[in-house]
Amino acid sequence: MATNLEDPRIIEFDVRTDEMLVNMGPQHPSTHGVLRLVLRTDGEVISEVTPHLGYLHRCAEKIGENLTPRQWIPYTDRMDYLAAMNMNLGWSLVVEKLLDHELSDKAKHLRVIISELGRIASHLVGMGAYGLDLGTFSPFLYAFRERERILDLFEEVCGARLTYSYLTPGGATADLPTGWVDKVEAFLRQLEPIISDYHELLTTNAIFIKRTAGIGIMSAEMAIDYGCSGPVLRGSGVDYDLRRDGEERYTEMYDGYAYEVVVEKDGHYPQDRNYPKVPREAVLGDCWHRFYVRMLEVMQAMDLVEQGIEKYKSASGDWGVPIKLTQRLPKGDVYLETEAPRGQMGFYLVSDGSAIPWRVRARSSCFCNLSVTSELCPGCLIADVPAIVGSLDIVMGEIDR
Amino acid sequence: MVDFFVSTFGMSPTVAAILAAGIQCALLLNVVAVGALVFIWMERKIAGRIQDRLGPTRVGGRFGWLQTLADGIKLIAKEDLTPADADALLFKLAPYISFAASFTAYMALPFSDGWVAVHVNAGVFFILAVLGLEVFGTILAGYASGSKWSLFGAIREAAQVVSYEVPLGLCVVVPVMICGTMDLVAIANMQSAGIWSWLIFHDPFTFCIFWIYFTCAMASVNRAPFDLAEAESELVAGFHTEYSGLRWSFFFMAEYGSMFLVSGLAVILFFGGWNGPLAIMSDKIIGVIPGLGLAGQPNAWGFIAGCVGAANFIMKATIGVTVMIWVRWTLPRLRIDQVMTMCLKYCVPLAAACFLGAVFVKAEIFGLGYLSVDAWLPGLRSDRLEVREGWMTEVEGEGVTLSTEKTLVHGDG
């Protein structure tokens, strides 16, 4: 219900009452960690939203300037802690780019399997937590049930369940264990029918559609203007995915993989499976579309993992032996962006020729995605704020670093 | 019970009345408190099962059925906190108002034939009126907490509950109109001939109106998807954000008490009250087959029939509560404007249309009389029709009638 407050036809809003300033967060159940939103409200109608950051700042970038690249990997885990594998990947690729280190095919396929599994795990949380934001509990636990299985798989690979530090400059810390890929295949087989449960409980649920369709509409221009990326950008109908449009060093990982970027084209999404239909109420760029893109990307990632496993089995070469812990870096600066589950995750590294980077910076996708809230929320009701913020699927650890 | 005390122990009527009131209050307080205990445990168990968990398993043996009691003890032991900005007196008063309203409504809720603390001949009206007072506790809590989130919750609750009283009233009027009485005991007794005499199957309109009633009842007791007053993802915890310890638990007792109450009311109005689907305790099953005829007898057999009836009633009402729990753990929450739209744009017109339809059926206008079960099974309610006539005569001022005579009936004392 995006209402234009200045619309003179709306008498109700013409007669203003006292405005109220409300702090939503940093301790609030639906601000995904420690986001603080200052809401200016007229009754329940929001007239202004200001996001405040910095409650989770841990100086990760500064720490990166005191450690060697491999030592900094655990700190990247703690950025987007819901998709730590993808963070590891982003940093590893930057370091490899600086070193001009080439990976074997097997290592590349391993990375595809791992990072796409990470994407599924991350989107499952995004989906479940979005349900929580809208007041339904059960999908959250259903999502976590499946996520746990992925975490079990990751635990087998690297021993950790949240902060993996598995992918590392040079490849990975170890090869995939024997028989592991079969377990992944078994997991994918049992996940597939469950996806339709999620669609039933959320995507096609009448109340869910009422709460999300037509709420927080972001036009393609606006999404681009604010530098949004990932499902948030694609939910607005912009056909842009770094796995396809990114830098050669990143996209070559996906060479030979068949997949379609999840984005609405000519009024419909790529339909290679039995997806639920887009409801009439939904407008391109609203909360529902952002959520839907995420759900479809789970299916897409499942496909990619399946293909990756096939390729990994027949691939030659080693699994990518990590570089030395104290490897000297050549002089120069590199920047590379990867398609993390939440969008474009970029790392910037400046080296003065020693083993320790001179400068390390990270470009967070959630930071840009979050910045649109102040544009989307005015005119909405308080109940729409969690719906909008939730649909952006932010992780504060990545924003504050 | 008053007569019993006076005749057996030779008490003065005043003392006997106070004693009887005390006993009844204590009994009902237990119903509400133990009911809340059981329903909270049930909610956690059912939610657990729905979500692929086990729910509580440790406290009190295998099924964790003492979990709520343990939580209650914890809540009693917690510090009684009043925020500095709060209006201390009102803040402390609010939970008790909520609870008292929910509890008072139980006074007029019959658990079996004549098993009611106060036999009000306008029981339906009394329960709805008193239940409507519960919102005052919430508003007071929201206002007195001195927190903006609480205030939002309270305002939402006020808007929502006051709106939903309208369709709720319209729904309740239909069984009242069909039975010709507001006396809950009499209404339930008119459905004593088995499942076909239940008012939900009386005609298509009563069938529709039950679902509207259930929706509105969920909204008026603030259950998901209408739990906007405490919407935890938006308003932290809504009106009870600032509450802790025992006061907080009083809000919960009130909530679960009201849940059972509206389910009980639905059971009496639509599902035959304490009469089973094959009402063997009554004199006739499905209008023709002779039953045991034990119900209503002033002896031990009547008491047994009453017990069976109470079990029946509690079971049916519990099913209603279970459905509410099930809905809560399945659906997302509506937004406030959608809740109001649903009430004023859909529930009220639908309820009004159904009411009109039921009137046509009852009064046999436009030849709609054949839609009623009574038209097809004429013997279904005949033996209970004197209740209605009695009510009529009472209106004309000819004294207390057959049904209202049993003000304090055997059984609970």
Instruction: Evaluate whether residue B161 is within a structural domain.
Output: yes
Q: Is residue A34 part of a domain?
A: no
Q: Find the CB nearest A141 among B53, B331, B338.
A: B53
Label the pairing between strands A343-351 and A20-24.
unpaired
Q: What percent of chain A has a predicted confidence (pLDDT) above 70?
A: 95
Element (H, E) at A251: helix A248-251
- The structure tokens listed for B183 are 């006396």
Residue B348, domain member (yes or no):
yes
Task: Please state the rounded mean pLDDT for residues A282-310.
Answer: 89
Whether residue A16 lies inside any domain: the answer is no
Same domain, yes or no, for B44 and B130?
Answer: no
B371-375: long-range contacts at Cβ-Cβ below 8 A with a sequence spacing of 24 or more?
Answer: B371/B203, B371/B204, B371/B205, B372/B202, B372/B203, B373/B196, B373/B197, B373/B201, B373/B202, B373/B203, B374/B202
Local structure of A333: helix, strand or coil: strand
CA distance B123 to B407: 12
A306: in domain: yes
Q: Is residue A177 part of a domain?
A: yes
pLDDT band at residue A10 using 50, 70 and 90 as cut-offs:
low
Residue B391 has pLDDT above 60, yes or no: no
Residues B38 and B169 in one domain: no
pLDDT tens, residue by residue, A73-126: 999 988 888 889 999 999 999 999 988 888 888 888 888 999 999 999 999 998
Range B130-136 average pLDDT: 86
Beta-bridge partner residues of A167: A172
pLDDT digits (tens, 9 = 90+) for B95-118: 888 888 888 888 888 888 777 777
Mean predicted confidence (pLDDT) in A18-45: 82
Q: How many CB atoms within 10 Å of residue A315?
A: 16
CA distance, residue B361 to nearest chain A CA (Å): 33
Residue B3 lies in a domain: no
Question: Whole-angstrom Cα distance, residue B133 to residue A211?
Answer: 30
Q: Which domain holds residue B67?
A: 28-77
pLDDT for A205 beyond 60: yes
Q: Are B185 and B119 in contact (CB under 8 A)?
A: yes
Asked, for residue B113, whether it belongs to a domain, the answer is: yes
Asked if B280 and B376 sit in the same domain, the reply is yes
Residue B244 pLDDT > 50: yes
Judgement on whether residues B58 and B132 belong to the same structural domain of the protein: no
Number of domains observed in the structure of chain A: 1
Is A384 touching B (CB cutoff 8 A)?
yes
Distance between CA atoms of B346 and A162, rounded to whole angstroms? 48
**Cβ–Cβ under 8 Å, residues A76 and A84:** yes
Q: Is residue B5 part of a domain?
A: no
pLDDT at A259: 84
pTM confidence score: 0.82
User: For A114-139, how does the pLDDT look when each residue is reduced to its tens digit (9 = 90+)?
Assistant: 999 999 999 999 888 898 888 888 88
Arithmetic mean of pLDDT, A247-272: 81
Provide the pLDDT for residue B349: 92
Structural domain includes residue B119: yes
**Rounded distance, CA A82 to CA A397, Å?**
9
Can you read off the two tokens belonging to residue A43? 């009754």
Indicate if B322 and B276 belong to the same structural domain: yes
Determine, yes or no, domain membership for A41. Answer: no
pLDDT tens sequence across B194-204: 787 888 888 88
Note the pLDDT of residue B412.
36
Q: Residue A203 belongs to what domain range?
A: 60-400
Chain B environment of A383 (Cβ under 8 Å) = 228, 231, 234, 333, 335-336
The reply to whether B140 and B182 lie within a common domain is: yes
> B53 with B106, same domain?
no
Domain-embedded: residue A264: yes
My answer on whether B55 and B113 are in the same domain is no
Q: State chain A's mean pLDDT as an integer.
A: 86
Does the beta carbon of A205 lie under 8 angstroms from any beta carbon of chain B?
yes
Of A132, A205, A207, the CB nearest to B233: A132
Tell me what pLDDT residue B371 has: 78
Predicted pLDDT at B37: 86
Least confident window among A185-199, B70-84, B132-146, B221-235: B221-235
In a domain, B362, yes or no: yes
How many domains would you assign to chain B? 2
Specify the pLDDT at position B410.
Answer: 35
Q: Among residues A305, A321, A319, which one has the least CA distance to residue A254?
A: A305
Question: Does the pLDDT at position B413 exceed 60?
Answer: no
- Both structure tokens of A101: 């280190």
pLDDT of residue A6: 62
* B334 vs A20, A207, A382: nearest CB: A207
Q: Exposed, middle or buried by CB within 10 Å (0-12, 13-18, 19+), for B395?
A: exposed
Q: Which residue of B has its CA nearest to A26?
A: B236
Give the residues across from A217 on adjacent strands: none
Q: Buried b vs exposed e over A165-184: b needs ≥16 C-beta within 10 Å?
A: bbbbbbbbbebbeeeebeeb
CATH number at residue A325: 1.10.645.10
Assess whether B40 and B103 both reside in one domain. no
Q: How many Å apart are CA B77 and CA B55, to the nearest integer?
A: 23
Predicted confidence (pLDDT) at residue B7 exceeds the cutoff of 50: yes
Answer yes or no: do A141 and B334 touch at CB < 8 A: no
Q: How far does the CA of residue B140 sit from the closest CA of chain A (Å)?
A: 18
Identify the top-confidence range among A61-70, A317-326, B56-65: A61-70
Domain identity same for B202 and B159: yes
Mean pLDDT of B302-320: 86
Residue with more model confidence, B53 or B236 = B53
pLDDT at A72 over 70: yes
Which of B47, B236, B329 lies closest to A28 in CB terms?
B236
Kindly give, in sequence order, each residue whose CB lies less than 8 Å from that of residue A396, ignoring residues fewer than 6 positions away. Answer: A32, A33, A34, A35, A53, A55, A56, A366
Size of interface A-B (CB pairs under 8 A): 81
Query: Is-contact A166 A157, C-beta < 8 A?
Result: yes
Are residues B193 and B297 both part of a single domain?
Answer: yes
Cis upstream peptide for B225 (omega within 30°): yes
Contact of A361 with chain B, judged by CB distance below 8 Å, is answered with no
Paired residues of A22 in beta bridges: A39
Enumerate chain B positions whose Cβ falls within 8 A of a Cβ in A: 47, 50-53, 148-149, 152, 156, 224-225, 227-228, 231-236, 329-338
B388 pLDDT more than 50: no
Asked, for residue B412, whether it belongs to a domain, the answer is no
> What integer best gives the mean pLDDT of chain B?
80
The rounded percent of chain B whose pLDDT value lies above 90 is 7
Report residue B216 as tokens. Answer: 């509105």
For chain B, give the secondary structure using H, E and C: CHHHHHHHHCCCHHHHHHHHHHHHHHHHHHHHHHHHHHHHHHHHHHHHHHCCCCCCCCCCCCCCCCHHHHHHHHHHHCCCCCCCCCCHHHHHHHHHHHHHHHHHHHCCCCCECCECCCCCCCHHHHHHHHHHHHHHHHHHHHHHCCCHHHHHHHHHHHHHHHHHHHHHHHHHHHHHHHHCCCCHHHHHHCCCCCHHHCHHHCCHHHHHHHHHHHHHHHHHCCCCCCCHHHCHHHHCCHHHCCCCHHHHHHHHHHHHHHHHHHHHHHHHHHCCCCCCCCCCCCCEECCCEECCCCCCCCCHHHHHHHHHHHHHHHHHHHHHHHHHHHHHCCCCCCCHHHHHHHHHHHHHHHHHHHHHHHHHHHHCHHHHHHHCHHHHCHHHCHHHHHHHHHHHHHHCCCCCCHHHHCCCCCCCC
Interchain proximity A20–B148, CB inside 8 Å:
yes
Other CB atoms within a 10 A radius of the CB of residue B259 amount to 25
Mark yes or no for CB contact B51/A138 under 8 Å: yes
Integer Cα distance of B268 and B316 in angstroms: 10
* Mutation choice for A interface testing from B50, B233, B235 by most A CBs within 10 A: B233
Measured CA to CA in angstroms, residue A7 lies from A214, A236, B1, B231, B336 at distances of 18, 25, 66, 29, 21
Give the pLDDT confidence of B249-300 residue by residue, as tens digits: 888 888 888 889 999 999 999 988 888 777 777 776 666 666 676 766 777 7
Mean pLDDT of A191-218: 87
- Statement to judge: residues B196 and B248 lie in one domain: yes
Q: Which of A338-352, B247-261, B389-403 has the lowest mean pLDDT?
A: B389-403
A276 within 8 A of A201, measured Cβ to Cβ = no
DSSP, collapsed to helix, strand or coil, labels residue A340 as strand
